[in-house]
Amino acid sequence: MPGHASKSPGVYLEETPRAPQVELPTGVPAFIGEILQPAADVDKVVSLDLSAWAQREQLHGTSWAGGYLGFAVRGFFENGGKRCFVVPLFATLAGALGEVAKLDGIDLVSAPGIAGLGAADMVSAQAQILETCAARGDCFAILDSPLLTGTEAEIIDQVKAHRDALDAALAAFHGGDDGALYFPWLKVRDGAGSILVPPSGHIAGVYARTDERAGFHKAPANEVLEDALDLQLWLSSGAQESVIAGTAPQINCLRPFTGRGMRIWGARTLSRNPAWTYINVRRTVLTIGRWLDLVMASVVFEPNDLKLWIRISREISGFLEELHRRGALKGASADEAFFVKCDAETNPPRVRDLGQVVTEIGLAPVSPSEFLVVRLVRSADGSAVAGVA
């Protein structure tokens, strides 16, 4: 027994430190916008936690940032966010997205700095953001509708037109998988008055709050929006039906509910792929991918043989079993929730000769329950019995 050569034969306890579990924070956005204060931060990416943001807010209010950025970051922290990055717009959006592409530790992207653009420019900018998220393969974009004016019917027509134009712009690279669109804007405090702001910062905070309380597999919907005085437009159920009507990807609405506050009332991506309809399903798969990138880096350059395949299968299965236990995957048992296959069949000689290790993973992610069907059965004596299907 190593380390015990001088001892008599027997059994000895030798403690071996266990490698710490890989921490994978979620609900961490990169906000794109203009930084004004402090001057030293104007042209660099800034990491903010609750304490650092509170200090800026105390010194400068929301004016430490230009446009809607300060309100978005405030909304993020007021809704439960813990950490974010602020990426200056620099000269162009492309420059900011180049910085986003290099950032580690983020899984969300929001761009309140583009919210004042015209309709066509905003569509182009949002398509670029979604393309960056798709290229990274580990980020989800929270997009704002434009600030619209007119009657309720006119505003609804305009936001649907924006959605349709964005959908058309995404057709070239199927970028709708990695983003969701929210409507309408929020009214928030601004000194002694109020101002309308895009909702993405507040919604990013709700994502972070939901992740911490329930997990990234929980849909960030039916959640209260804090730090919001009102909505630009109060949507009824009928109005929301009009907003989401049609076959194009859907818009997630923010709605007021008597006694329950203003809530996010939708959890759908911009994807046309039925597999990625729901935000939480897409984010679950993106997060699993992030975990694999972190953990599997340790097996790079290992001999590509049975021993490695078993190790990979064991590591991935253990992680997915934990997700199943937490409710992220459906199925009565782990066997029903997922499968992991890494063996000679997935790694034939031609694959190994390329220096690759191929693992197949099948998942059964949990979809949100959007509709509760209540059946009201009336008996002959006039009594009624209700049940939820």
Domain CATH number, residue 152 = 3.40.50.11780
Average pLDDT score over residue span 136-145: 97
Q: 377 pLDDT exceeds 90?
A: no
Q: 50 pLDDT exceeds 50?
A: yes
Question: Is residue 189 domain-shared with residue 248, that is, in the same domain?
Answer: yes
Q: 20 pLDDT exceeds 80?
A: no
Please indicate, yes or no, if residue 4 is contained in any of the structural domains: no
Lowest mean pLDDT among 99-108, 127-136, 364-373: 364-373
Average pLDDT score over residue span 184-202: 97
Question: Is residue 221 domain-shared with residue 78, that is, in the same domain?
Answer: yes
Question: Is residue 260 domain-shared with residue 322, that is, in the same domain?
Answer: no
Question: Is residue 122 domain-shared with residue 188, that is, in the same domain?
Answer: yes
| Rounded Cα–Cα distance for residues 250 and 246 (Å) | 8
For residue 38, give the DSSP letter: S
Lowest mean pLDDT among 2-16, 35-49, 185-199: 2-16
pLDDT band at 245 (very low <50, low <70, confident <90, very high): confident
End-to-end CA distance of the chain: 62
Lowest mean pLDDT among 227-231, 233-237, 279-283: 233-237
Question: Is residue 113 domain-shared with residue 230, that is, in the same domain?
Answer: yes
Question: Is residue 72 domain-shared with residue 167, that is, in the same domain?
Answer: yes
- Please report, rounded to a whole number, the percentage of residues in the chain having pLDDT higher than 70: 89
Inter-CA distances, 95 with 37, 89, 113, 338, Å: 20, 7, 13, 40
Question: Is residue 211 domain-shared with residue 335, that is, in the same domain?
Answer: no
Among 134, 123, 132, 137, smallest CA distance to 166 is for 123
Paired tokens of 48:
């903010």
Report the number of distinct structural domains present in the chain. 2
Please indicate, yes or no, if residue 223 is contained in any of the structural domains: yes
Amino acid at 104: D
| Rounded Cα–Cα distance for residues 341 and 325 (Å) | 20
| Rounded Cα–Cα distance for residues 44 and 49 (Å) | 16
Q: What is the pLDDT of residue 382?
A: 56
Q: 7 pLDDT exceeds 90?
A: no
Question: Is residue 151 domain-shared with residue 255, that is, in the same domain?
Answer: yes
Please give the mean pLDDT across all residues of the chain: 90
Paired tokens of 272:
């046309």
pLDDT band at 247 (very low <50, low <70, confident <90, very high): confident
Q: 314 pLDDT exceeds 60?
A: yes
Tell me which of 254, 272, 290 is where a domain ends.
Answer: 272
Please indicate, yes or no, if residue 69 is contained in any of the structural domains: yes
| Rounded Cα–Cα distance for residues 43 and 37 (Å) | 11
Please indicate, yes or no, if residue 290 is contained in any of the structural domains: no
> Quick check: 101 and 139 in contact, CB under 8 A?
no
Please indicate, yes or no, if residue 228 is contained in any of the structural domains: yes
Please indicate, yes or no, if residue 214 is contained in any of the structural domains: yes
Question: Is residue 60 domain-shared with residue 97, that is, in the same domain?
Answer: yes
pLDDT band at 351 (very low <50, low <70, confident <90, very high): very high
* H or E element at residue 50: helix 50-60
- Domain range for 307 is 300-363
Please indicate, yes or no, if residue 216 is contained in any of the structural domains: yes
Please indicate, yes or no, if residue 378 is contained in any of the structural domains: no
Question: Is residue 109 domain-shared with residue 212, that is, in the same domain?
Answer: yes
What pTM was estimated for this model as a whole?
Answer: 0.89
| Rounded Cα–Cα distance for residues 201 and 103 (Å) | 19
Question: Is residue 150 domain-shared with residue 246, that is, in the same domain?
Answer: yes
